Structures are given as C-alpha cells and as structure tokens.
Amino acid sequence: MQERENTKALEVSDLSVCRRNRQILSEVSFNAGFGEVIGLIGANGSGKSTLLKSVLGILPWKSGRCSVNGVAVEPENRSWLSRNVGYLAQDTTCHWPLEVERVVALGRLPHLPSACVPGAADREAIRQAMLVAGIGHLAKRTLTRLSGGEQRRVHLARMLAVEPRVLLADEPIAGLDPFHQLAIMELFCSQAKAGRLVVVVLHDLTLATRFCDRLILLKEGRVLADGLPDAVLSGAHLAEAYRIEARVFNDREHRALIPWDCIHED
C-alpha cells in the first residue's frame, strides 16, 4: 500500500452498486479536496447512505474505483483507512449501558495494537473529541440514559476521536435541536478549516446552503448536479430531484433557501 502526497482527499470514479438485484448507484463520479465541506443531498432513496457506505468499502461495488488520499479503498488497506477516515452512521442505536467516555474511546481502537490500553496521546484525543462535541459534562454518564440528541453527539465525538483526515457523516443533525444543529455544522466547518475533508448527508437545505462549500445532488442513484450551493439548488433541480418549490431570502451576507410548496403531479 502506497500513499501519495498532495492528491485529492477523495476520488470516486464510475461507482455503481447493486443490492438485491436492484441498481442503487449508477456511475457516480466526483473528486473532493481537503478543506472542503461537501453536502450530499437528495430525496429519500436517492442513494446517499449507500454512497457513503460504498466509499468506506462497507458495501461491495458492481464496478468503479474509490481512493482516499491516493490509497485505494480495498480490503488490504482497511487498517490504514480505519485510522484516516471517520464515519458517523445514520443509525447509532446502542443497547449496551456503556459509559460515555468508553464509547468515545472506541474511536481510538484503530490506532492501538491488540490488547493495548490507550496511552497519554489517546486519552488526550478522547478528551479533545468530547470537548469539541460539547459532551465533556456527560463523560461519566451511561449512554443508554441519554436523550437521542445527546447520544448522537457522543457518537460524533467517537468519530472525532479517530482524528481522521476525512469525515463522513450520515444525517448527523437528525433529531437535534436548532442550537446543536448549528453547533455541529460550525464544528464541521472548523474541521475543514483545519485541513480535513467533511462529507455530510443533509436533508435541511437551508443549512446546506449556509454551511457547505459545495453540494452533490443525487437523483435515483446518479449525480444530478455538483457544484456551488446556489447553482445546485436551482428551481429546476429542486423540482426534478425533490418535487418542490422554494423561497429564497437574502441579506447582505447570507442566502437562505426554504422549501415552500410541493409540486403535485397531474
């Protein structure tokens, strides 16, 4: 396994995925650089979660290629990928009554040799991850006794504890109150400013418009549009991908897009 320097953070080329004899993704291609926050958007069933899982190598591909910083996403490189790519799944349900700090510590496992306990650097990474995710005060609480939103932030801290160069998050703000939705999007922006790549699945188009440098819009497993938020969230794209019309509000610095009406088929 050879890692090339100064390559794209993520390269996806002609990725096609089938599940249960059904085509989920069809020839999806895009490149992403370090320092970007990319919003992966599209209607339910458009293939967003499948794309993230395929990029990680969790789901097998029918065809195509994928690499992270020049390292191919293949079984022989899984150890390297586990240390350099952080993943927050859509379903983070945990049924074990584990202490929050222990859950976050799971993010350090890829960095530890077998049967080794976390060292000073690992403990600091765990502490920083909880601090950044705003859950330091929950460290000694039991995960299963927390609210759904609090549990979501615990798993976000677990991903951050990996100290990954690429962060993949599937609907990370689902079920969170407005304060924590904004806080997590600001967190992702700070991660990108620190030189990491963030790819985040979002349904909130207002937050996607405000916080993402770039959007990739999927429709029925294909890339319908890829580019700056204003271009991707055009009236034509919203009608085709979502069957909605939106209202756009502008102030001196920001543009807010709010889904407004359904487009009903005749």
Which amino acid belongs to residue 17? Answer: V
Look at residue 6 in the predicted model and tell me its pLDDT: 44
Question: In the numeric block, which tokens belong to residue 191?
Answer: 């991660």
List the structure tokens of 186: 């600001």
Query: Given this model, what pLDDT does residue 251 score?
Result: 78
CB 206 within 8 A of CB 183: no
Alpha-carbon distance 199 to 193, whole Å? 14
Per-residue pLDDT of the chain (266 residues), as tens digits, is 444 454 689 999 999 999 888 999 999 999 999 999 999 999 999 999 999 999 998 998 999 999 999 999 999 999 999 999 999 998 877 788 899 999 999 999 999 876 677 889 999 999 999 999 999 999 999 999 999 889 999 999 999 999 999 999 999 998 889 999 999 999 999 999 999 999 999 999 999 999 999 999 999 999 999 999 999 999 999 999 999 999 988 877 778 888 999 998 76
- Rounded-to-integer distance, Cα 226 and Cα 199, Å: 13
Q: Say what the pLDDT of residue 183 is.
A: 93
Q: What pLDDT is stored for residue 148 in this prediction?
A: 87
pLDDT at 7: 60
Confidence at residue 167, expressed as pLDDT on a 0 to 100 scale? 97
Predicted pLDDT of residue 1: 47
- For 243-260, write each residue's pLDDT tens digit: 999 998 887 777 888 899
CA atoms within 13 A on the CB side of 34: 16
pLDDT score of 20: 86
Out of 3.90.650.10, 3.40.220.10, 3.40.50.300, 3.30.1370.60, the CATH code matching 10-95+164-262 is 3.40.50.300
Model pLDDT, residue 266: 66
Maximal C-alpha separation, the chain: 64
User: Which of 194, 195, 200 is closest to 69 using CA atoms?
Assistant: 195
User: Structural domain boundaries of the chain?
Assistant: 10-95+164-262
Pair 48, 22: CB distance under 8 Å: no
Token duo for residue 174: 């689902």
Q: Which two tokens stand for residue 232?
A: 């991707």
What is the pLDDT at residue 115? 63
Cα 159 → chain centroid: 10
